[in-house]
Every structure is written in C-alpha cells, then in structure tokens.
Amino acid sequence: MSLEQALDYIAIGDRIRKHRELSRMTQEQLSESCSLSTGYIGHLERGTRSPSLETLAKISQVLHVSLDNLVFGEAEISNNMIKILALTLEDKNPEKVKVFLKTVCALADNIDEI
C-alpha cells in the first residue's frame, strides 16, 4: 500500500477545518494567507482534493499546528489542548480567567487523588 492510499484525506480535511475554526478564520482568510483559492480550501476540507506537501506546510504554518497533526491527527494532544484553552479564554474577563486558571492548577496538582 502506498502512502497516498494510506492517507485519509477526509480526516485531514476535518482537521484543517477544525484548526481553521479554532483560529477563528474563514475559508477566505485561510485561502488568502496561503495564496490558494477559497474553493480549493473547501475541497480540502471536504477531502475531495489531495493537497501537496507544500500546501499542507503552508496551512500548518498559518494555523499554527504541526504538519504531523494535520496529516495524522492528535499527535500533540497537550499542545492542542493548550491552544484550544487559550483561544477559548482570550476574550473573557481577565480576573475570571485568573480564578479559572488557579482552579485548574489546583485540580492538576491533585489529579491523582480525584
């Protein structure tokens, strides 16, 4: 089996869409940042086109996600969780975010006892 046959382009497209949305970007914004057409981004997200390595590298740089993660999935789960948390909290009340983070840290310190 060749590598191309082993790659799941629908899953790759789903990951591109997920990270684009986490980055709060539209398909148009991603396409402009990567010098690709909006239609092509749509095809990639649906898994109906097979992106080149160069295209995947551009997308991974713009979305601040590893190329490995885009192609193969949650290889860097802790980095993704931190990114998701940061994006979720970025427009929240700073004082409430501090309380939330202190709570999370306290829970993490005692995670083996939970």
Same-domain status, 83 and 67: no
Check whether residue 16 and residue 65 sit in a common domain: yes
| 32 and 4 in a common domain | yes
pLDDT in tens, 65-96: 988 889 988 755 566 677 778 888 889 999 99
Considering its fold, how many domains does the chain have in total?
Answer: 2
* Nearest-5° Cα angle at 110, 87 to 112: 105
Tell me which amino acid residue 110 is: N
Both 17 and 58 in one domain: the answer is yes
41 plus 80 within the same structural domain? no
Kindly report, residue by residue over 44-65, the tens digit of the pLDDT.
999 999 999 999 999 999 999 9
Using the Cα atoms of residue 7, residue 10, residue 11 and residue 12 in order, give the sign of their dihedral: positive
Whether the Cβ atoms of residue 36 and residue 50 lie closer than 8 Å to each other: no
Is 37 in the same domain as 49? Answer: yes
111 DSSP 8-state letter: G
Q: In angstroms, rounded to a whole number, what is the distance separating the alpha carbons of residues 70 and 64?
A: 10
Residue 84's domain comprises 76-114
Higher pLDDT residue, 15 or 73? Answer: 15
Say which amino acid occupies 35.
S
Residues 104 and 82 in one domain: yes
Residues 24 and 8 in one domain: yes
**Taking residues 93-109, what's their average pLDDT?**
91
Q: Are residue 63 and residue 91 in the same domain, yes or no?
A: no
